[in-house]
Amino acid sequence: MANKALIQKIKGAREFYPEQMALRNFIYEKVRRASRAFGYQEWDAPFIEPIELYAAKSGEELVKKQSFTFNDRDGEFVTLRPELTPSLARMIAAKQGELTFPLRWWSFGPFWRYESPQKGRSREFFQWNIDMLGTDSPEADAELIAVGAEFLRSAGLKPDRAVIYVNNRRLMDAEFDALGIPPEKRLDVSNLVDRRTKMDPAKWDENALGLGLDQKQLGGLKDILGNFDLWKKSDELTRLFSALEALGAREYVKFDPNIMRGLLYYTGTVFEAFDTTGSVRRAIFGGGRYDNLLADVGGQPLSGVGFAMGDVVIGIILQEAGLVPEFEPSPAQALVTVFDEKLWMQSYALAAELRRAGMNAMVYPEPAKLPKQFKFADRMKMKAVLVLGPDEAEKGLVVVKNLGTSEQEQVKREALLSSLQKILAFNVKQD
RNA sequence: GCGGAUGUAGCUCAAUGGCAGAGCACCUGACUGUGGCUCAGGUGGUUGUGGGUUCGAGACCCAUCAUCCGCCCCA
């Protein structure tokens, strides 16, 4: 039983022990590489913002119910950021005249949403955001999708298990129009489409009719949602797919008329990536094209395309797929033991010497029995252990033991580096 | 906000209402200058918390807290 005196962490907050931190950094590294491969610049915004920033957009209970808010000492309402886009809009608007467009920005940082924690969802999470602003073309949409595909590829998720589903709002609006679905019902219908895979078919039909659709419209809607060649009617999607072909990302992408995305602000291409084989049914990432990003904050109209990916879902998927590299407990590959009180400082000096030579070296923090120190090195999965005992000190030697092979040799101090490097290189090959 | 499940050693889990246990981990020793492997021994518990029923509760009842799974929601 845990110590009762321990104060519990905040519900849904995340604790990153070194092993989890390694996963987070693994994701960050893949994100960073994919973003930079396409020339995107890293940026960030405040973690706390005035609540109005979000209220301006949704103005809903959503903001109050699903955000962490509090009063600061001056009585201002402060919100832990639940998303990045409003901050992006403000920062762009503030320097709209001096930024170089088209602008390509990416970010990876913490966000908070007051929701009930469950599989794939916590109250505190890290999110990758990536956007291109100032270009309005299906080819730009294709680039963002290609960035996402590049991330999936580099993380080890092949097209047979990760798929990016694409649709287009304008295409769907045109289809809805053709069915005689009035524009004011589009939002409700979109939301219903979004929920289709989750719902019982009969119930879904019922809801559709409840929205005021007639049988003929319902039938037409289902025809549309079952038509996976529909994209051929869309000039935008046709161009998108040829661009994806050229970008080498086509194999990851499928057209799916059921992808809508709940967000109001998407106006053209929308897309969502899913793991098709694992236990997580939530989207890996999702995004699309939005117009008038800056409308709410008073900037000039600007079109953009972007997507966001949380760390929780992708983390589960990568672990399930066995794609996370084995955890290395210690960044240092060599342990310098401390033989006794007298030789303590000599061991410290030896470790310092290794560090000056560019190696990561850990020294045992105090004299202790050698078995204990060796055991420590073993549990830290270190590759080599150095022993500087009385015999070695006297003759200017060091014992180097390869923990992988159990072989050890006494070498002169001058030969230590090359001996160590040999062991480390050998062990690297073994991995 | 709603529903379901689970809380026992550091971890994973046992224990018909009748002495709280096992495996792993940890510590010590076999092995006073060498990790893993083996063997022997040992430490470790207010059974989430608070009440109740009972001669007797880890188990049954009520409440509460926490976690997990799902619904709702998902900017």
Are A208 and A111 within one domain? Answer: yes
Give residue A69's pLDDT: 86
Distance CA A38, CA A389 (A): 54
| A182 contact partners, CB below 8 Å, separation of at least 6 | none
Distance CA A36, CA A105 (A): 10
Are A373 and A282 within one domain? Answer: no
> pLDDT band at A339, cuts 50/70/90?
very high
Protein-contacted positions of strand B (CB under 7 Å) = 1-2, 8-11, 26, 28, 31, 33-36, 45-49, 66-75
CATH number of the domain that residue A395 is part of? 3.40.50.800
Are A227 and A357 within one domain? Answer: no
* Cβ–Cβ under 8 Å, residues A182 and A173: no
Give residue A263's pLDDT: 63
| A155 contact partners, CB below 8 Å, separation of at least 6 | A27, A30, A314, A318, A323
Distance, Å, A1 CA → B13 C1': 14
Instruction: Express as a percent the part of chain A with pLDDT over 90.
Output: 67
Distance, Å, A3 CA → B13 C1': 20
Are A110 and A181 within one domain? Answer: yes
* Cβ–Cβ under 8 Å, residues A108 and A126: yes
Are A155 and A270 within one domain? Answer: yes
| A96 contact partners, CB below 8 Å, separation of at least 6 | A294, A299, A300, A302
pLDDT exceeds 70 at position A60: no
Q: 3-state SS of A317-368?
A: HHHHCCCCCCCCCCCCCEEECCCCCCCHHHHHHHHHHHHHCCCCEEECCCCC
Give residue A134's pLDDT: 94
Instruction: Express as a percent the part of chain A with pLDDT over 70.
Output: 94
Domain boundary among A320, A348, A368: A320
Burial code of A59-88, b = ≥16 C-beta within 10 A, e = fewer?
A: eeeebeebbbbeeeeeeeeebbbbbbbbbb
A69 falls within a domain = no
Give residue A429's pLDDT: 38
Average pLDDT rounded to a whole number, residues A154-159: 96
Give residue A398's pLDDT: 96
A12 falls within a domain = no
A377 falls within a domain = yes
With left for phi above 0 and alpha for psi between -120 and 50, is residue A248 left, alpha or beta? left
Are A144 and A114 within one domain? Answer: yes
Give residue A308's pLDDT: 95
Domain boundary among A320, A349, A381: A320
A170-214: pLDDT as tens digits = 999 999 999 999 988 888 888 888 888 777 788 888 888 888 889
* Site of tokens 């994209």: A231
A280-318: pLDDT as tens digits = 888 999 999 998 788 777 788 899 999 999 999 999 999
Are A303 and A373 within one domain? Answer: no
Give residue A427's pLDDT: 56
Measured in degrees and rounded to the nearest 5, phi and psi for residue A398 equal -140, 140
* A96: three-class secondary structure by DSSP: coil
Are A172 and A277 within one domain? Answer: yes
Tokens of A64: 């109050």
Distance, Å, A140 CA → B64 C1': 55
Measured in degrees and rounded to the nearest 5, phi and psi for residue A80 equal -75, 130
| A148 contact partners, CB below 8 Å, separation of at least 6 | A34, A164, A252, A271, A273, A285, A287, A307, A309
**Which of the nucleotides lies closest to A402 (Cα–C1')?**
B35
Are A300 and A371 within one domain? Answer: no
Distance, Å, A117 CA → B48 C1': 20
A57 falls within a domain = no
Which of A127, A97, A135 is CA-nearest to residue A110?
A127
Average pLDDT rounded to a whole number, residues A317-341: 91
* A20: three-class secondary structure by DSSP: helix
* Cβ–Cβ under 8 Å, residues A134 and A302: yes
> pLDDT band at A256, cuts 50/70/90?
very high
Most confident of A87-91, A216-220, A242-246, A330-334: A242-246
Distance, Å, A9 CA → B18 C1': 39
Domain boundary among A265, A290, A320: A320
Tokens of A409: 């040799």
**Which of the nucleotides lies closest to A62 (Cα–C1')?**
B75
Distance, Å, A1 CA → B46 C1': 11
Q: What's the distance, CA A356 to chain centroid?
A: 35
- pTM, full prediction: 0.93
CATH number of the domain that residue A36 is part of? 3.30.930.10
Cα dist from A118 to A11, A12, A30, A308, A349, whole Å = 11, 9, 25, 20, 50
A355 falls within a domain = yes
Half-sphere exposure at residue A356, Cβ-oriented, CA atoms within 13 angstroms: 6
* A157: three-class secondary structure by DSSP: coil
A88-128: pLDDT as tens digits = 999 999 999 999 999 999 999 999 998 888 889 999 999 99
A380 falls within a domain = yes
Are A365 and A239 within one domain? Answer: no
A389: domain range?
A: 334-430
Are A339 and A297 within one domain? Answer: no
A60 falls within a domain = no
Q: Is this complex's ipTM strictly greater than 0.85?
A: yes
Domain count, chain A: 2
Q: What is the average pLDDT value for chain A, to the nearest integer?
A: 90
**Which of the nucleotides lies closest to A375 (Cα–C1')?**
B35
> pLDDT band at A61, cuts 50/70/90?
low
pLDDT exceeds 90 at position A352: yes
Are A267 and A355 within one domain? Answer: no
The terminus-to-terminus CA distance of chain A in angstroms comes to 37
> pLDDT band at A3, cuts 50/70/90?
very low
Residue A367 burial (CB count, 10 A): 16
A70 falls within a domain = no
Distance CA A193, CA A190 (A): 5
Q: 3-state SS of A277-308?
A: CCCCCCCCEEEEEECCCCHHHCCCCCCEEEEE
A132, amino acid identity: M
Average pLDDT rounded to a whole number, residues A156-161: 95
